[in-house]
Chains A and B, each alone.
Chain A
Amino acid sequence: MSDAVPSFRKSDAAPVGLAAVSLGGVGARTRREVAIIVLVAVVVIGTVEAYLRLAAVPEYIFPTPSAIVVALVVQFPLILPHLGYTLVSLLSGFFIGASVGLVLAAVVTQKPFVEKVITPYILMLVTTPMLALVPLLILRFGFGYTPRIIAVALAVGPMVMINAATGFRRTDSAKIALARSYGASVLQIFWKIRAPMALPMILVGLMIGSIFGLLTCVGAEMVGGGFGLGNRLTTYSSMINMPEFFAVITLLSMMGIGIYVVFFLIGKKWASWET
């Protein structure tokens, strides 16, 4: 798992891309660029390692990168099932939330008045930290997957909806007139004009939504229940197993990068017409 190390660097890069929400850019890298990227990673991680060793920072405060890598490799068989549990909650919640969000966005944007009535509630849901609801959900649904999936869906859904609605609202009357001039039905106009036109914004919503989902999922696992990567974080920190703690953090940031890369690639394939 030596490739866990450069992920520190990449996790720094991810928020930049997110902030820019650009789905284009980053083309093929030249060998020279790759060399520089690797060199910077080596220097940054090497500097951290050297500083932590020279300053004799105790491991329970901040473990060295090498200790984190060792912990990740050694503990990986123990951590792996928890990675699976987290993925189950995250993916289930994501699919439920994203589906509901997409359908709502598509329906609501058909009627501007309905959209006006509903939007404040959606904004409220977007800005409410769903993590705050987790203790309540645990009271009602117990310590299993259910409260986590609900929390993830609540975090993902409104985020997807608000972005997708922006996409669906981008009506280009000339393009719709074009379809209508060939006798297109309302459904054809939706699938052949509105949906493709909304796709770039939908992908942005899905990407931000899934990252929000990951945060909510890990948070929910930290609040209660005996499994999942979030639970590992609380367990390892309570036992002051800092290398293991940071190994889990590394895994989580790799998941975040994975999500970003997946949507980046989907966007590159399906939404590259819009730069």
Chain B
Amino acid sequence: MAATAARLSVRGAGKRYGDLQAFAEISFDVGRNSIVSIVGPSGCGKTTLLWSMSGLLALTSGQVLLEGSPITGPHPEIGLVFQEANLLPWRNLIQNVLFPFEIKRQTPDRAWIDHLLDRCGLKGFEASSPRELSGGMQQRASIVRALSLRPSVLLMDEPFGALDAFTREDMNRLLEEIFLETQTTIVFITHSIEEAIFLSDRVIVLTRRPGRVLADYAVPFARPRSIATMASREVFDLQNRIKSDIYGQPGPIAQPAQGAVA
């Protein structure tokens, strides 16, 4: 793990909706060129936290720093990948990928976009409309869209939650490849502990609402991670520790998403 310094810092972040405290006093750093996953019970404010980190939502307390300066709104260095692909159905694939450039009135870097499309197996599907693409292809297109602007930070909100297990496995490998190539810092929200361990340099576990940081695990396995690595004793132990963190919490019967019961 090549984390030399913090790219992104969350400092005492809290979000309150009226009487409801979604999360409170969350602090952690995300190192340069690393992948950090955030896992936790449903409703602990993971998505809200991620949207706050992107500048789309304002925090009620604390702040998010990018390279030391506070995020106050959407930032060009930060890319966001949404739950489900969130493609615009009235645009074809390439029009969807070029959408950010239209909004920003920038000339797209076609060579880079072509490379990304090729990398994600979308070459030749530029003119296809989203509904002609499989779920995995749609999500790959949305990743290309997010990476097309070369953000230094990519925030991903349960991007593979709606995909079947096999597609999800493929997407995890693809994301790792892209990460190794682009060295983009990635914050990844997921319900799947296995996915979190496979992808991350660190896994942060949040408590039940109001979400707080319960544990922060380093995942020190060499990349690219093989099936053998993932089947090792260390990974198994780590999985179980995170599971007991999540399910061992006091409170009403946990409602973890299916993905968490890996």
Contacts and interface: CB of A to CB of B under 8 A. Distances in A.
A77 to B, nearest CB: 45
A193 B90 CA distance: 10
A267 B7 CA distance: 47
A178 interface: yes
Contacts of A182: 74, 99-100, 103-104, 149
B83 A174 contact: yes
Contacts of A271: 90
Given A181-B74, A181-B80, A273-B131, A192 B89 contact: no
B82 interface: yes
Interface in A138-196: 174-175, 177-184, 188, 192-193, 196
Interface of B: 51, 54-56, 73-74, 76, 78-80, 82-84, 86, 88-90, 99-100, 102-104, 129-131, 149
B88 A193 contact: yes
A67 interface: no
A192 B55 CA distance: 21
A181 B54 contact: yes
B74 A175 contact: no
Contacts of B82: 174, 177-178
A236 B131 CA distance: 53
A141 B145 CA distance: 57
Contacts of A196: 88, 90
Given A182-B149, A270-B90, 12 more contacts: A174-B83, A174-B84, A177-B80, A178-B88, A180-B56, A181-B55, A181-B79, A181-B80, A183-B73, A192-B103, A196-B88, A273-B131
Contacts of B84: 174
A193 B102 CA distance: 12
A71 interface: no
A274 interface: yes
Contacts, number: 55
A8 to B, nearest CB: 37
B137 to A, nearest CB: 16
A177 B57 CA distance: 10
A199 interface: yes
Given A178-B82, A273-B129, A183 B56 contact: no
B81 to A, nearest CB: 10
Nearest to B88: A175
A199 B56 contact: no
A193 B76 CA distance: 20
A181 B83 contact: no
A174 B86 CA distance: 7
A274 B90 CA distance: 8
B56 A181 contact: yes
Nearest to A193: B88
A177 B90 contact: no
B31 to A, nearest CB: 23
Nearest to A274: B89
* Shortest beta-carbon contacts, A-B, top 6: A182-B103, A273-B89, A273-B90, A182-B100, A184-B103, A181-B80
A179 B83 CA distance: 15
B88 A183 contact: no
28 contacts: A174-B82, A174-B83, A175-B88, A177-B51, A177-B56, A177-B82, A178-B80, A178-B86, A178-B88, A178-B99, A181-B74, A181-B78, A182-B74, A182-B99, A182-B149, A183-B74, A183-B76, A183-B103, A184-B103, A192-B103, A193-B88, A197-B90, A270-B90, A271-B90, A273-B90, A273-B130, A273-B131, A274-B89
A199 B103 contact: no
B186 to A, nearest CB: 16
Contact of B102 (A177, A180, A192, A270): A192
Contacts of B83: 174
Nearest to B83: A174
